[in-house]
Amino acid sequence: MSSVVELERASDSGRRPLARCTGDAGAFLATSWGRGPVLHEGEDPAGFGDLLSLDEVDRILSTTSLRTPSFRLVKAGEQIPESVYTRSGTTGSKPVSGMADPARVFGLFEQGATIVLQGLHRYHEPVTRFCRDLEVELGHACQANAYITPPGAQGLELHDDPHDVFVLQAFGTKSWEVHEAPGEPEREPLRAEIRPGDCIYMPTGTPHAASTQRSLSGHLTIGVHVVAWKEVLRDAMKAFEADPTLAEPIPAGWTAHPEAFARELSERLAQAGSALSNLDARGIVHARLERFLSTRLPLLRGGLVEQILAEDITDETRFERREGSILVLRTRDDTLIALLGDRRLEMPAWLEPAMRHVADAPSFALGEISTALPDRDSRAVLARRLVREGLLRPVT
């Protein structure tokens, strides 16, 4: 079974994130991805309100003791010193600094400061799930910052980012000016006021600016760290460099005989070209796939409770795949490899039929895998482990 099919089954919980950002994901990838900016006007009245709301920003800042650098304040493009809006305290008798002081943060916001929630994908579950689904869909790592700007505040100066960007307007409105992307023909800047549910896509290096705010605005900036071909070719070079002959020293005294040295180098370049063309491209790709699908952020909300529930299971206990979970199976010799997104599991190859059943069934009673795994105790052990690893959850 292809990885594409397995990933489609794993993460399709409602509308896919790329379609939410662009409308027609296929058309976007074919005509705009990596080429030029696109403005997509949202079709859903709720917009991106499920990812971020003003009330949720209030909750994060006022109740979680958020610490820098997970947030910062800026005004008129300048950083406000952390000491102005943070406080210190103790936790477990140890000193803690850089904690948000809600009253001072809200006071500075009223005076025109923009609140920046940095790395929001690491501590706000809706954004974590969105970024996880988007990066699996694209095959490139994603991150998220949020910018909450009061009315009348100056926007960002003209700048560009070292990665692709999706700007998602969550609440309020914001005016943007977007210039041509690198390699795009010269044109007049795109100017637009985006509203809740609207999205702007910009390739790496696209100059853009946000103008003065007329109303409260909250938007998410999703950064996509696009992998270039040179990075994949670097993987191939690492495999090639394992050749022990490449560790041999170049000729002593080569400076006196540069032409002879050039001829030998030419011969070695020809040998290198032949060796590179004979490398196992599939093996290199599969290694990168395993690395990518085992290093995403975990989605384990509820895992502690579910782990306790899984202690007392029978063949009648029903399980379901955790929302947003990934399960891609690979076999290597006598080992079954399960890629779960945030981790890589190795299992005996004889468990493959049972794991294929888990991969194919969004919900099942444990006894349903008895044909693939006849031993009752083994079924229970496997189910408990998959609950512990965050793939399955008991249905209560």
Domain range list for the chain: 3-89+96-225, 229-285, 303-394
**H or E element: which one contains 137?**
helix 125-138
From the centroid of its chain, how far is CA 243? 35
CB atoms within 10 A of CB 87: 15
Given a contact cutoff of 8 angstroms between Cβ atoms, the answer to whether 218 and 171 are in contact is: yes
How far lies 42's CA from each of 123, 125, 203, 214, 219, in Å? Answer: 26, 22, 20, 21, 14
| Strand order through the sheet with 164-172 | 38-40, 199-202, 164-172, 217-225, 141-149, 114-117, 71-75, 78-79
Question: Hey, what are 27's tokens?
Answer: 């058309």
The predicted pLDDT at position 343 comes to 95
Beta strands in 293-357 (DSSP E): 318-321, 328-332, 335-339, 344-348
Partners of 364 in the beta sheet? 319
Look up the CATH superfamily of 3-89+96-225: Cupin (2.60.120.650)
Given a contact cutoff of 8 angstroms between Cβ atoms, the answer to whether 75 and 112 are in contact is: yes
How far lies 101's CA from each of 67, 71, 114, in Å? Answer: 10, 12, 15
Q: What angle separates helix 125-138 from helix 3-11, to the nearest 10 degrees?
A: 160
The whole model's pTM is what?
A: 0.89
The amino acid that residue 198 corresponds to is D
CA distance 276 to 243: 11
CA distance 185 to 163: 20
Mapped onto helix, strand or coil, the DSSP state of residue 44 is: coil
The predicted pLDDT at position 8 comes to 47
The predicted pLDDT at position 14 comes to 65
The predicted pLDDT at position 2 comes to 47
The closest of 216, 208, 149 to 184, measured between CA atoms, is 208
The predicted pLDDT at position 47 comes to 85
Q: Which fold has domain 303-394?
A: Outer Surface Protein A; domain 3 (3.90.930)
CB atoms within 10 A of CB 317: 19
- Those residues whose C-beta lies under 8 Å from the C-beta of residue 106, and which sit 6 or more positions away, are 61
- In tens digits, the chain (396 residues) has pLDDT values of 444 445 544 443 468 999 999 999 999 999 999 999 999 999 877 789 999 999 999 999 999 999 999 999 999 888 999 999 999 999 989 999 999 999 999 999 999 999 999 999 999 999 999 999 999 999 999 999 999 999 988 777 899 999 999 999 999 999 999 999 999 999 999 999 999 999 999 999 999 998 877 889 999 999 999 999 999 999 999 988 988 989 999 999 999 999 999 999 999 999 999 999 999 999 999 999 999 999 999 999 999 999 898 888 999 999 999 988 999 999 998 999 999 999 999 999 999 999 999 999 999 999 999 999 999 999 999 999 999 999 999 997
Beta strands in 203-250 (DSSP E): 208-210, 217-225
Sign of CA dihedral 353, 356, 360, 365: positive
CA distance 137 to 7: 8
The predicted pLDDT at position 77 comes to 81
